[in-house]
Each structure stands twice: as structure tokens, then as C-alpha cells.
Amino acid sequence: MEVQNLSIYEFCDIAIDNGSDLYFNQPDGKIYYVPVDKDKYEHIFRRSTPKMLAALPNRKKLDILMAIHQDSYTSISAEDKHNEKLNKHIDKLQALLQLKISPQFWAAEQRKIRLIIADIANIAYIKHKLDNFQEMPLKNQKKLLKDVSAITARYNCINKPNIMFVSQKQIEADKGLSQWMETEAYTYENNILINMDIVKSLSGLQAISSAWHETNHVAQAYADYKQFPEAESLFNQRLNFLQQMPETYIFHPQELVTYALERLFIEECNSRIKLLLDERNYSYQSEYDISSHYMQRAILNKGREKF
């Protein structure tokens, strides 16, 4: 194992010299990095008001969010106790999630959406396929979802995700999958699982929006954001604990950006492909509204901070 051309032993020495640490967790065989000044950031979190936390710069907010959560615990009760403490301070977590977004980053993501839609619009008979999605054979539905995912992956410069189609019965029989049984799709690592029983109730536009949404999450984990270095911190997997709390789920940077972009995806599809009006309500309409409003504030309030 190497970190910036360092052996794990050299990296451990540097970590300790800078006030952090590494430790080996035997049960899962992983080496964990304990952030610099973890105790200091936890102290700031405990003693600060939500207003004080909201006023901090992006980098400090992200450091605190990463420091107050960890991946490994000595026992289940220790993890439960830690999560209970966090749940008592949802207002502080929401304050820390008032992150500023670079207009340049947002513009680049919007351009990607338009390029993706342009390619989707060139799929043979796409208007007919989307307007008559539920009448299509199952194999054709799956192919369309895979095609949209592949296009999205290409413009994000990542490998195509591994897409697996499952039924509600399969989900309920698997404890690992049952956590997302109420949603139509779920992403982990480079894999996307799609619940075809729920897809049966979706319009064509809803179905391909879901395929785009999950592929975008894969991109957030694996794409190269070298033009926008802080984006990698915004999408850091160590912040995923925020997705487990209903009050902070939509404000997690991964979801915040993706829902706001998905709204644009839907609008661009309707505009370019001229789809038939769909009277069904989109299941995530409130999330679209929240994320769009929040994104406007995140960009407008950028001020002097450099992204």
C-alpha cells in the first residue's frame, strides 16, 4: 500500500507527527485514519451555536463534519451512543451543511447535463420509447436504462457502472438490500441496483432520470474533479453518515447537487425531446424544490471564499 509514494509505515509516522493517527481494525482488516485534531473539532462542534458553525468557511465545516463521525467502533452500543448524540444536534449538522458552491463548478455540471441530453435525444425512436415506456418489452426497458447510464458515465469520464436489475422479492429476501426497498434504485461502489417492480410504475422520463441520478452518484465517487479540488471533499464518502438521517439527507452535498441537477435533466429532456405531458407527480418533487432553492443560495452566498 502506498499513499503519495509513501509506504504505510512512512505515512503512519507523518500522520503521528501532525497530530493524527492510523490504526488497524482486525475484524474488517482495514487501516483507519484518525483526522488531525479530532478532539479539537469535536470540542468546537459541542461548544458552538448553529449560527457560529454556519459562518465558518467550507474547509473548516468539512473538517468538523469528517471529525465528528468515524467508520469503526469498539461495539454496537458505542456506535448507537455516538449516533444518539449526533441526532440531538441536527440543527448544528444542518448549519455545517450550509456549504458554498462554486459558480464555475455548477456551470460545468450543467454543461455536462446538456451534453448528456443531446446524446440521449439521438437514441433511435427515443420520444416513442419514453412516451410508451410501460408498453415496451422488459428487455428494451433495461437496455434504455443501461444506455442512459453509459452516456452519463462517458461524459463524467468514468467506467460504465455495473447495473443489476432485481425484484422486490429479491430485495426483501436479502438483509443487505432491504435498507433501500422503498426506492427504485440504489448505488454502492461502482454498482447500481434497480428495482424493476417499482420501475413498472414510473414514466419513461422518471425511469431514465433515476438511471442518470444513480450514475451521477457513482461519478461523484470516482470522477476526477482536479479543476475543482474541494469537490472531492464535498462528495467524500466519510460524509455518508448524513444520508442516514432524514433531516440531513437532502443537504448531503452528493444529494444536494444531484437532485438540483436532476431537475435540470428533466426540464432539458422535456424541452429537447418534446415528451407527452405526464400527469403523474414526480415522487421527489419536494427534494427538487429544496435542492434548487438551496443551490441558488449556495452559489449566491459564495462571497470571497475560493472553491
Q: Write down the domain spans for the chain.
A: 2-96, 103-300
Provide the grid cell at 194.
434497480
Residue 303: what pLDDT?
44
Q: Which residues of the chain have pLDDT under 50?
A: 279, 281, 283, 303-307
* Exposed/middle/buried for residue 129 (C-beta within 10 Å: 0-12, 13-18, 19+): buried
E strand residue ranges, 80-167: 162-166
Q: Which residues of 236-269 are buried (b: 16+ CB within 10 A; e: fewer)?
A: bebbebbeebeebebbbbbbbbbbbbbbbbbebb
**What's the whole-model pTM score?**
0.80
Distance CA 217, CA 189 (A): 9
22: β partners: 33
What is the structure's pLDDT at 89?
93
Q: Is 195 helix (H, G, I), strand (E, B) or coil?
A: strand
Could you give the angle at the alpha carbon of 29 between the alpha carbons of 73 and 172, nearest 5°?
70
Q: Which helix (H) or strand (E) holds 192?
A: strand 191-195
